[in-house]
Amino acid sequence: MVTPDWVGMEVLNEKWSLLIKDCAKYYA
């Protein structure tokens, strides 16, 4: 069974990935 915390981490990782990609555009 998947825990809610694990799901939350997955969503958080998704948001961080987008944020990092967005920052990369400015620093590239």
pLDDT digits (tens, 9 = 90+) for 1-28: 566 777 788 888 999 999 999 988 887 6
What span, in angstroms and rounded, lies between the C-alpha atoms of 27 and 6?
A: 31
Q: How many domains does the chain contain in total?
A: 1
Specify the pLDDT at position 8: 80
Specify the pLDDT at position 22: 92
Q: Produce one character per residue of 1-28: b if its CB has 16 or more CB atoms within 10 Å, e if not.
A: eeeeeeeeeeeeeeeeeeeeeeeeeeee
What pTM did the predictor assign?
0.48
Joined tokens for residue 16:
């961080």
Specify the pLDDT at position 28: 64
Total H helices, total E strands in the chain? 1, 0
Give CA torsion, residues 14, 15, 21, 23, to 10 deg: -160
Domain that holds residue 10: 1-27
Specify the pLDDT at position 3: 64
